[in-house]
Amino acid sequence: MVFWVYNIIATVGLFCAGPVIFLWFLIRGSIDTHFKERLGMLPRGLMPSKGKRPRIWIHAVSVGEVKLANVIVRVLKSQKGVFSLVLSTTTSSGRETARKTMPTDTIVIYTPIDVWWCVKRSLHRASPDLFINLETEIWPNLLWACKKLNIPAFLINGRISVRSIGTYKRLRFLMEDVLSAYRLLSMISTSDAQRMLAIGAEPDKVVVGGNAKYDLLIDEARPELSQKMAQIYKIDKKRPVFIAGSTRAGEEEIIIEAYLDLLKTYPEMILIIAPRHSKRCGNIESLLRSRSLNYCLRSSLENDTKKDLDPSVILVNKLGELFGLYSLGTVIFCGASLVPLGGQNILEAAVWGKPVMYGPSMEDFLEATELLDKVGAGFRVENRYDLVKTATWLLENPDESDRLGRLARDEIESYIDSTRKQIEDIFCSLP
């Protein structure tokens, strides 16, 4: 009954929205690949025969999950040798990242629309022997089709946030049926496992496998990346650097006021603001101008020696640099936390050996918060005054700040190898 109700709604929704979706892809000039792939019409040339090799389909939503998929594929190859790989993504940025970073023989496709005939057609054409879902983007028809076609389905790095659990519970009648299609659900933490059980997962299918993103963080935090960022931003090593990463509306005002207070004691300090969405840079520029701050955009550094710029503030309007940029910070604040948006991944800064400041709203990253709190490298701030007070303490106690940063890095390293564990759990569950 749940299956039929869901598919009636999904099919009606597709036919109602179909003309608009078609027009959108037509305008973007991507009707041939994007639209057809999302309808499950995979070109034969795109999906070669797998021969005698097993084929694994990994679903990665966007850029972050694609990076994680790279780590998982390396572990899979070390344990299981040669196999054919299909990687599906939901976003165009995820697709581009996959094409640039995944092994060259990876078959990269768009995730089919979650309508029964689209999903079934895509699975028939791909013919995977194993389906792996990263994180917790759950598509009912994709999982139901895997179950019907006897394709073992697994969840790796599963997480359910405190903010989303209420919605899932209201949909328990659906989730209970959908989750039964999984052979195994490997959750990041005990809390995530408990929340998964609360929405209807079968207890014997839920395990705690740790966070494979720790492996990814350690893998990506390389000295070469830090050196590259230093060359791009050309910041004098003697200047203290205040980095505010993944900021949201309502936070930049607080950060700028805190920075102005800090300038009174540290006149050489430079502020780098990297908003979560670069389209907001215009609004942030207005804030900076209203406070008479000398600033420049990251894009203006491309072909400039920066000797004639010497800004007090750099506004990052380029995607993909924040992770490496954290390595240059003297004091670091991670956004989406002074406003009620659940926070950002503070471990992206901590893995560089940095203490991290964050606001009270960290519901989506409780595990990361607990990890840093455990070693004293996480600093909760409630407002501008807390930011100034904490940043001042870190600047006045550089040896202690460095020590806490090293403890944070060491703590993250103590959790690595969860990718291997989760892969082993998968193959142990197979008959």
Domain presence at residue 16: no
Give the three-class secondary structure for 331.
strand
Confidence check: pLDDT of 19 > 90: no
Same domain flag for 124 and 228: no
Same domain flag for 133 and 147: yes
pLDDT reported for residue 284: 97
Distances (CA, A) of 81 to 53, 54, 154, 331, 420: 10, 10, 19, 44, 14
| CATH for 332 | 3.40.50.2000
Summarize pLDDT for 164-209 with one digit per residue, the tens: 999 999 989 899 999 999 999 999 999 999 999 999 999 999 999 9
Same domain flag for 247 and 167: no
Same domain flag for 232 and 195: no
Count of structural domains within the chain: 2
pLDDT reported for residue 163: 86
pLDDT reported for residue 81: 78
Q: What is the mean pLDDT of residues 156-169?
A: 91
Give the three-class secondary structure for 73.
helix
Same domain flag for 404 and 424: no
pLDDT band at 49 (very low <50, low <70, confident <90, very high): confident
- What pairs with residue 240 in β-bridges? none
Same domain flag for 171 and 49: yes
CB 246 within 8 A of CB 276: yes
How many angstroms separate the CA atoms of 317 and 280, rounded? 9
State whether the Cα torsion 93-101-427-84 is positive or negative.
positive
Same domain flag for 374 and 251: yes
Lowest mean pLDDT among 42-51, 123-132, 183-192, 299-308: 299-308
pLDDT reported for residue 319: 85
Domain presence at residue 20: no
Region class of 246: left (phi > 0), else alpha (psi between -120 and 50), else beta: left
Confidence check: pLDDT of 32 > 60: no
CB 390 within 8 A of CB 381: yes
Residues 6+ apart with CB under 8 A from 81: none
Same domain flag for 180 and 327: no
Domain presence at residue 50: yes
Q: Which of 354, 365, 286 is nearest to 326 (CA)?
A: 354
Domain presence at residue 319: yes
Q: What domain range is 287 assigned to? A: 223-413
What are the φ and ψ backbone dihedral angles of 238, each rounded to 5 degrees?
-80, -15
Domain presence at residue 357: yes
Domain presence at residue 205: yes
Summarize pLDDT for 216-249 with one digit per residue, the tens: 999 899 999 999 999 999 888 889 999 999 999 9
Q: Which of 371, 336, 319, 330 is nearest to 93 (CA)?
A: 319
Q: What is the mean pLDDT of residues 396-409?
A: 98
Q: What is the mean pLDDT of residues 279-304?
A: 91
Distance, C-alpha 286 to centroid of its chain:
29
Same domain flag for 206 and 282: no
Distance, C-alpha 352 to centroid of its chain:
17
Domain presence at residue 87: yes
What are the φ and ψ backbone dihedral angles of 290, each rounded to 5 degrees?
-65, -20
pLDDT reported for residue 305: 52
Same domain flag for 177 and 313: no
| CATH for 71 | 3.40.50.11720
Q: What is the overall mean pLDDT for the chain? A: 90
Confidence check: pLDDT of 369 > 90: yes
Domain presence at residue 10: no
Same domain flag for 297 and 153: no
pLDDT reported for residue 40: 86
The angle subtended at Cα 356 by Cα 400 and Cα 362, nearest 5°, is 145
pTM of the model: 0.84
- Residue 300's Cβ-count burial label (10 Å; 0-12, 13-18, 19+) is middle
Between 1 and 234, the higher pLDDT residue: 234
Same domain flag for 154 and 260: no
Confidence check: pLDDT of 302 > 60: yes
pLDDT reported for residue 92: 86
